[in-house]
Amino acid sequence: MMTFKFIHGLVFLALMAGVFASGPSVAAPGDVENGEKIYMKRCVWCHGEEGEGDGPAGDLLVPPPRDFTSGLYKIKTSPFDEDFPNDDDIFRMISDGMPGTDMPAWKDILKNEQDRWDLVAYLKAFAELEEEPGTMVDYGAPVATSVESIAKGQKLFHDGERCSECHGQDGKGDGIKKLKGDNGERTWPRNLTKPWTFRASNDTKDIFTRISTGIPGTQMPSFANPKSKTMLSVEERWHVANYVNSLAKTDKTVRAVNTVVKANRIEGDVPSDPDDPAWDTAELTTFMMVPQIFEKERVFTYTNDTITVSAFYNDKEIAMLLEWDDRTRSIPGDPNIDKIADKVPYEDRVSVQLPVTIPEGTQKPYFINGDTENPVNLLSWRSGTATSPESVSVANATGSENIEERDAANFGLMAKSAYKDGTWRVVMKRPLSTENAQGDLQLVEGRFIPIAFANWDGSNSESGTKHSRTTWYWLLLKPANSAKPYILALIVAGIIFGGLLWWAKAARRNGEV
Amino acid sequence: MKIPRLLQAILVLAGVYGGFVLVFDVILEQVIPSSLLNMYMFFVVAGTYMVFTFNEESTEEIVAPIKALVEDPSKKMMRNVVFLVVPLFFGWFTFQQMKPSFEAPLELRTIHPAPPSAVKVYGKRYNLLTLENPFRKFEKEDPEKFAELVRQGGAVYIKNCQYCHGDKLDGKGPYAQGLNPVPLNFQDIGTIAQLQEAYLFWRITTGGPGLPKEATPWLSAMPVWENFLSEDEVWKVILFLYDYTGYSPRSWEHE
């Protein structure tokens, strides 16, 4: 163990040394003219002709495209007291893009590095930036991640609500402080458990850099600033970076190969409470959600990009646990929610969409609320208002304009929710079979059943067609283990063994003759 | 040294199998579904069998070592091993086939289905065999006007299409990952470069729901753009797609 740690530490140090020794490179001076040519073909659409972030798509994108005339860049490695970035920083954003935004990585199209340097020169010209700062955040002696370091980081994260004030108790960006960007727009702190939304990356070094230099144009401050009460030493910042890096919810990330919600069979009652310990043993499947931009009315700004599903079933019922991060518990009329949300016009909501009949062939209902020939069941839960408790509803739909509400109690749908530290956990329970076999999906063990999910964030003014959703995936009620495959395997092996013996015997007899 | 025929056949099969896995799973990083691989391998095995048993002589060469194994008393040890391994292999194979599969069913779909001869949108009927982009002529007649039309098409694209098809037109927009089938990659030589502008007009205006059944219209997230864009906007965005990628649309004239 000791040796492993030692080697691990050595490798880490060697890597870090390599990274840091490079420092800000002396960039080849960019050709502004060539940069302009590329800019007008590739960048102008979002960032605008004058570089003010006001291209045709400018006001549809969240976060908005960068306004280059300010010279401020969110992701930079220059120290906190330098307003402007190093050339390398701009080069990196162009090359690698920014995850969680519309900015793609350009290095596969602009293969020639010089082209990207020329763009850097052109972008700098918008703000008349000349010399780069040429200095970097002081990285000191990097602290490799370890249980001790993470524990220290966790303490610093919560001390005096240093980070948790905005990023929340569990780092899900659900702190109650309302944040604004420099242009007055509402901004939300990063959900630190979703590393795929980190604009640079969730490498410890990148996290360290953000903590040290802050994020210009936002309320994310520098924790290297000696004037600040919340200042951290270099070593402390490495601890916090290690802690933040450890927050990634690796069990709730989207894996493209996982397209099936696998319900395990259990004896006795299915868990109907989200806090039932039985859920700890469930198989989790996480799906990506996208805003509903396919039918009228569309929504372009959405707040939640994933939903995690698990399920159990018995002879009679299925219980499904739906989990998603939501910074706001949208209860219209609840005075507590006003502390974080700007307005709460609607309840939060989640829907499970199932076809009314399990398709025999490949044809399924249209993935958004079915179609005239192929209806769907919509099973929904709503968070409730200040005057009414949480509720469930059942509807049948043959397209978004034909959604017919039904009696949920008669259907047998039940739900129970829990909201804690920026996460909704909702258990939905329904009988496997219902009385209305024509109008309701009857769940069958061992069949692949199409399933889709939709989610509404009421505080983001989402209701009706304005929501985020998944495409069709699968629900499988996993059959209990059976002995059949073993028996068949034995029979086949036996027959072949017998056949071979018979062949050998026959051959020997022939030989004797 | 001559490799025995039987070994040759086995090497061919192993080579092809390894090749599939190498090309799809490793190089293209597109894990090949086992049912598809089984289907391919069935044909490969059948083909190899036919080639290696083409005439009596080669059949004899293949069969001889097997026969010797069973009949030659001096190969007793080898025989015992083979007689144990072969039934075990088939038993294991049966178990693998029979055990309940939790792998999602494979869904095949046609990516470029044959277009209908005519399409009805904007309250009009368009003959797709003769339909042309009304703005295409300006490419030669009035390059300045053409550039302006492309620019307008780009604005339409960035406001409506990039979310899925991407800023780079590579089918990797911010929401692409959440969709199945994935959005089309226009930079790929196999997409718009092989199609006529009329085909694109059909695909854009009628969207996913306008696809024929073999192309799974219930899965495609392509909106019905007739509901969002004007006819002119559709033609302009088509100009933009070709201009940005540097491809030319196919036309009847060139063929």
Is the same domain home to B16 and B78? yes
Residue B253: pLDDT band with limits 50, 70, 90: low
The residue among B35, B64, B98 that closes a domain is B98
- What are the boundaries of each domain within chain A? 22-126, 147-248, 252-477
Q: What is the DSSP string of A203-233?
A: -HHHHHHHHHH--TTSS---SS-TTSTT---
Can you tell me the mean pLDDT for A137-146?
96
Mean pLDDT, residues B211-226 taken together: 95
Tokens of residue A265, six digits: 């069979």
pLDDT digit string, tens, across residues A62-93:
889 999 999 999 999 999 999 999 999 999 99
pLDDT of residue A8: 53
Q: What tens digit of pLDDT does each residue of A413-441 get? A: 999 999 999 999 999 999 999 988 888 99
Of A120, A126, A102, A130, the closest CA to residue A51 belongs to A126
Closest listed residue to residue A415, CA positions, set A432, A430, A435: A430
Assess if residue B208 is contained within a domain: yes
B144 is a domain residue? yes
Higher-confidence residue of A103 and A335: namely A103
> Would B104 be classed as within a structural domain?
no
User: Which residue among A57, A470, A493 sits closest to B90, beta carbon to beta carbon?
Assistant: A493
Confidence grade of residue A411 (pLDDT, cut at 50, 70, 90):
very high
Q: Return the number of CB contacts < 8 Å for A and B.
A: 155
Higher pLDDT, A24 or A361: A361
| Shared-domain flag, residues B136 and B226 | yes
State percent of chain A over pLDDT 90: 79
| Assembly ipTM | 0.86
Contact across the interface for A446 and B100, Cβ inside 8 Å: yes
Lowest mean pLDDT among A378-387, B26-35, B98-107: B26-35
The reply to whether B113 falls in a domain is no
> Which of B 188-207 lie inside 8 A of A, CB atoms?
none
Give the nearest chain A residue to B215 (CA atoms): A363
Alpha-carbon Rg of chain A, whole angstroms?
A: 28
B106 — contact with chain A (CB < 8 Å)? no
For chain B, the straight-line distance linking the first and the last C-alpha, in angstroms and rounded, comes to 53
Q: How high is the mean pLDDT of chain A?
A: 91
The yes-or-no verdict on residue A2 having pLDDT over 80 is no
Provide the whole-model pTM: 0.84
Torsion of CA B204, B210, B214, B220, to 10 degrees: 60
pLDDT for A212 beyond 70: yes
Q: Is B127 in the same domain as B230?
A: yes
The CATH architecture to which A147-248 belongs is Orthogonal Bundle (1.10)
The conformational region for residue A237 under phi > 0 = left, psi -120 to 50 = alpha, else beta, is: alpha
Domain A252-477, architecture per CATH = Sandwich (2.60)
Number of domains in chain B: 2
Mean model confidence pLDDT for chain B? 90
pLDDT confidence of residue A338 = 78
Q: Which fold has domain A22-126?
A: Cytochrome Bc1 Complex; Chain D, domain 2 (1.10.760)
pLDDT in tens, B178-207: 999 999 999 999 999 999 999 999 999 999
> Same topology for domains A22-126 and A147-248, yes or no?
yes
* B53 vs B69: CA distance, rounded Å: 19
B154 interfacial to chain A (CB closer than 8 Å): yes
Mean pLDDT of B90-117: 86
Neighboring chain B residues of A103 at a CB cutoff of 8 Å:
167
Q: Does pLDDT of A3 surpass 80?
A: no
Find which of A110, A492, A502, A513 to mutate to test the B interface (most B CBs within 10 Å of its CB).
Answer: A492
Residue B20 domain boundaries: 5-98
Better pLDDT: A113 or A177: A113
For residue range A259-275, what is the model confidence (pLDDT) as tens digits? 999 999 999 999 999 99
CA distance A450 to A254: 18
Tens-digit pLDDT profile for residues A444-483? 999 999 999 999 999 999 999 999 999 999 999 998 877 8
- Say whether both B142 and B241 belong to one domain: yes
